[in-house]
Amino acid sequence: MSLATLRVESLRCLQSAELAFSPRINVVSGPNGAGKTSLLEGIFLLGRGRSFRTRNNERLIRHGDALLRVVGRVERDPAARGHQLGVEVSRTEGTRARIDGAFAESLAELSQVFAVQVIDPEIHKLLEDGPQRRRRWLDWLVFHVEPGFVEHWLRYTRAIRQRNAALRQGAVAFEAWDPELVRHGEAITAARRRALERLIPRWHELGRELGTVELTLGYGQGWSQESSLAAALQDSRGRDQERQMTCAGPHRADVLLRVDGRAAREVLSRGQQKLAAVAMMLSQVELLQEEYGIVPTLLLDDPAAELDPVRLAAFLRRVQKLDCQLIVTAIQNNFSLLGEPDRLFHVERGRVGQL
């Protein structure tokens, strides 16, 4: 699926905009602060139900407005029926999504209809920040390659909320949720491991081409490797009551990147972290496309930032091999590093137009 049309209202500095994209190369140009990245946020919101720049969707709402709206149509090809997606973010009601006019039960459903990934100048935070960002990176892949994962993830999430609520209330029956956590938590963990194992060879190959430092990529499941989840929950009962939260389970998992046994973020420079993270993102897109027939839309926000000419050239060569929709931001409207754009847009002072 690629994004055919997009309409945004009250998104950061963008009061309103309507665009029709090519299924191949699209370039959005404009000066810094004009709204280029905000436009990519709107596209990402349509496929993920959240921004890639902030955890709080309300920060995306244009100053002085009460509601932002993003509506888009995704298509496999112009002759196919496609799907219409819509996401609204309200200061009073939070985030709601529609798929073909019907409200989605979960924002995760958006990813199943519109696969979108982003590489932006802050991508090094995938290594630098805490585990949550890396879990999201892995789960986006697992959503697409492991049938049933979404259901296990949704039921585990509901159960962990109920168990934590019981712990905060001091209820002695909080352990009643343990069988549900074990059933779905172990399924989540197994699915994540399988997806990561399929990804690792491609990630290593990409890393070599981009010239990254030799890294190992592993999975920390969120509790002791020598213990079952049921035993881990039992063992952490006292700690859970003290902290009023569940301390063991796949919600505590992490993707472990190491250099000679040390955490990569402690060893690598920001440029090296960016290269490793780029390899992580591209390996996902390539795996989905080549082995599962899923063709994501790839957003590239200022792709030349912080990459030297040699590594930038290697990165662009790899991107050019992808047979997917690209939406790229650049300061100049003559951006042609990926070839001649099929569609060219310009953003100036919160207004978007096609050139």
What percent of the chain stands above pLDDT 90? 77
27's torsion region: left (phi>0), alpha (psi -120 to 50) or beta?
A: beta
Instruction: Report the pLDDT averaged over residues 262-284.
Output: 92
Residue pointed to by tokens 């009551």: 241
| pLDDT tens, residue by residue, 25-56 | 999 999 888 899 999 999 999 999 999 999 89
Q: What is the pTM of this model?
A: 0.93
Query: Secondary structure of the chain: what % helix, strand, coil (to 5)?
Result: 45, 25, 30
Largest CA distance in the chain: 65
Identity of residue 294: I
Mean predicted confidence (pLDDT) in 224-230: 94
CA distances from 128 to 24, 75, 134, 188, 269 (A): 32, 35, 10, 24, 10
Spatial separation of the C-alpha atoms in residues 152 and 182, rounded to whole Å = 11
Contacts of 220 (CB under 8 A, 6+ apart): 131, 253, 254, 255, 256
Residue among 74, 67, 92 at smallest CA distance from 16: 67
pLDDT of the residue at 79: 64
Q: How confident is the model at residue 248 (pLDDT cuts 50, 70, 90)?
A: very high
Is it the case that residue 203 has pLDDT exceeding 70? yes
Name 301's bridge partners: 329
| pLDDT exceeds 70 at position 293 | yes
Strand 343-348 relative to strand 25-29: parallel, antiparallel, unpaired? parallel
Q: What domains does the chain contain, in order, with CATH numbers? A: 1-115+295-355 (3.40.50.300)
pLDDT surpassing 70 at residue 78: no
Question: What confidence score (pLDDT) does residue 353 get?
Answer: 87
Question: Residue 181: is its pLDDT beyond 90?
Answer: yes
The Cα-based distances of 280 to 184, 211, 273 in angstroms read 26, 13, 11
Cα angle at 82 between 11 and 8, to 5 degrees? 10
